[in-house]
Amino acid sequence: MEIKFEKKEKRRSMFWGIAFIVLGFVMLLNYVLGINLPAFRILFSIGIIYVGISLLFGGFNLKLNRVSTANEAIFSESKFSLDFSETNKESGSGERDQKFQTVFGNGELDLTEVDFSKGPVNVRLDTVFGETRLIVKKGTNVKLTTDTVFGSTNLPKGNKSILGKFTYDLGADENSPQVNVKANVVFGALEVIER
């Protein structure tokens, strides 16, 4: 642990050392050669770039609240699973309704092993700045309604939805069990795969 801390401190002090050297050269150009450059604006810009890079690569040791459960993937990856117990029901919903959320992460819901003998399954998928994969068994009657905003919904047979509301039906047999999927995709991606 101490080695990582020392490396980060060394990297941070090296960055600011370089930033002040650049500031010195800009000021030197200004006073000696008469080249007028906004020195403090340049230093401020370099500082903002440094903060952005540090945030991207974890330089400030931010502790993101990573959640990975059977129903949520927030800043993480999760393989979702259907659980029809009372605690996992969507509020005000029927007995076989489930809600799954993916936020800045990856989620996968595999419906190929679901028992449809007790009736249809209603699934709600919310994806925000993430990616969700929905896997359904070939031949299963699935009604998929998507609301996509600046995202991507990739459906079997090459169908795509990028913006707006779209309804898609998989399976042709009305007597087969049915899965109703309501998906909301905002700046993310939903991929539906038939196996």
- Using pLDDT thresholds of 50, 70 and 90, give the confidence band for residue 84: low
Residues 82-109: b if buried by 16+ CB within 10 A, e if exposed: beeeeeebeeeeeebbbbbbbbebbbbb
Segments making up each domain of the chain, as ranges: 2-56, 67-194
Render pLDDT for 116-126 as a digit per residue (tens, 0 to 9): 777 788 899 99
| pLDDT for res 101 | 93
Residue 91 in this model has a pLDDT that exceeds 50: no
Q: Is the pLDDT reported for residue 176 higher than 90?
A: no
Please tell me the predicted confidence (pLDDT) of residue 44.
Answer: 74
Structure-block tokens of residue 76? 């993480």
pLDDT of 83 > 70? The answer is yes
Tell me the pLDDT band of 8, cut-offs 50, 70 and 90.
low
Q: What is the pLDDT of residue 3?
A: 42
For residues 21 and 164, which has the higher predicted lDDT (pLDDT)?
Answer: 164
Q: How many residues does the chain have?
A: 195
Cα separation, 60 vs 55, in Å, equals 6
- Beta-ladder partners of 39: none
Rounded distance between C-alpha atoms, residue 157 and residue 18, angstroms: 54
What is the percent of the chain with per-residue pLDDT over 70, rounded to a whole number?
73
128-142 pLDDT per residue, tens: 989 999 998 888 888
Q: Where are the alpha helices (DSSP H) in the chain?
A: 2-32, 39-56
Residue 24 has pLDDT above 60, yes or no: yes
